[in-house]
Amino acid sequence: MPPAIGYAAIMLAAGIGIPILAALNANLGGRIGSPAAAATILFIVALLGAATVMVLTGGTRSLTALPGQPKHLFLAGLLVAFYVLSITWVAPHFGLGNAVFFVLLGQIAAAALIDHFALFGARASPITWQRAAGIALMGVGVLLARRP
């Protein structure tokens, strides 16, 4: 199997997990009365899961390289927190589908710009007219899918 198929399968699974994560955490937040508490629990569980994988794969040695890394790279954690907190709070009010569809629309636009300008160390992939048309089609699809 070519590596690209494996990568695509992993990312498809991650994509499937996003609305499931949103639904589960929004439900937990509603049941306990605090989206922030539900997000905190999610992060504790995620930390334990990631730490377990790090230990099992020998990644602990990599921690010694952390002090020398650019500080802006750690903002990714704040972006994850923003996503989890916002989806946990917004989904029950706006609808899970609507919330995730707008997340997807933001992801499509941001990913295209990051690739086009090779930001944050991404591999450059210019926005050609074909790519722009595909992105626009995806955007229209997202907007159509959110209509009742």
pLDDT of residue 144: 86
Q: Which residue has the higher pLDDT, 147 or 110?
A: 110
pLDDT of residue 138: 85
pLDDT of residue 135: 87
pLDDT tens per residue across span 33-91: 999 999 999 999 999 999 999 999 999 999 999 999 999 999 999 999 999 999 999 99
Mean of pLDDT over the chain: 92
Neighbour-count burial of 100, counting CB atoms closer than 10 A to its CB (0-12 exposed, 13-18 middle, 19+ buried):
buried
Q: Cα 42–77–22 angle (5° rounding)?
A: 40
pTM surpassing 0.85? Answer: no
Residue 141 has pLDDT above 80, yes or no: yes
pLDDT of residue 142: 80
- Dist. CA 103–CA 97, nearest whole Å: 10
Neighbour-count burial of 101, counting CB atoms closer than 10 A to its CB (0-12 exposed, 13-18 middle, 19+ buried):
buried
- Dist. CA 130–CA 4, nearest whole Å: 21
pLDDT of residue 101: 85
Residue in this structure with the two tokens 């990051």, named with its chain if needed: 114
pLDDT of residue 30: 95
